Amino acid sequence: MKTLILIRHAKSDWGTIGARDYDRTLNPRGLRDAADMGQRFKDKDFIPDLFISSTAKRAEQSSQLMTQAMGYELDKIQWFEHLYLASPSTILSVIQSIPNAVSSLALLAHNPGITELAELLAAQPIGDMPTSAVVTLAADIKDWQDASTTWQLQDFDYPKR
């Protein structure tokens, strides 16, 4: 059995004129929501075996705040530059590369790819994942290479819920 947690980064500022999208930081609401969603993991007494994230600034901040709140060690976060604005197939290829010893994986990335992948794997409409949204999926697989299978939607949570 594998558990896959797909997370959209927290709310960000639109930045200053001329700033790169990649460098956008979280706004005050995003800072609060990321920590709150991490606390929800802790409240459920759930810490993933592995937490991976896009390297974009807003994703980096979201990951650090969430993992800190849930009690996951910051230096164990794995960073993947190609998760920045990644397509569902790119995100899936990252998932399929995860060592099989990992039973639960949290992956933080960006829309539209993260929502599209959640809907594809759950084989049902989820709608737009708002910022800081967390979709938890489970599948009876032993090998992450088989992650393209249909997963069971376990939970869909976000800050205003």
Region 11-36: mean pLDDT is: 89
Region 122-149: mean pLDDT is: 97
Region 2-12: mean pLDDT is: 98
Region 24-52: mean pLDDT is: 97
Contact 111, 129 (CB under 8 A): yes
Q: What integer pLDDT is reported at residue 14 of this predicted model? A: 81
Q: Residue 161: is its pLDDT beyond 70?
A: no
Domain positions in the chain are 2-11+25-157
The CATH architecture one would assign to domain 2-11+25-157 is: 3-Layer(aba) Sandwich (3.40)
Model pTM? 0.96
Q: Using alpha carbons only, how large is the chain's radius of gyration in Å?
A: 14
Q: What integer pLDDT is reported at residue 130 of this predicted model? A: 98
Under DSSP, is residue 43 helix (H, G, I), strand (E, B) or coil?
helix
Q: Residue 29: is its pLDDT beyond 90?
A: yes
Q: How many CA atoms lie within 13 A of 86 on its CB side?
A: 24
Closest of 96, 83, 86 to residue 148, by C-alpha: 96
Region 119-144: mean pLDDT is: 97
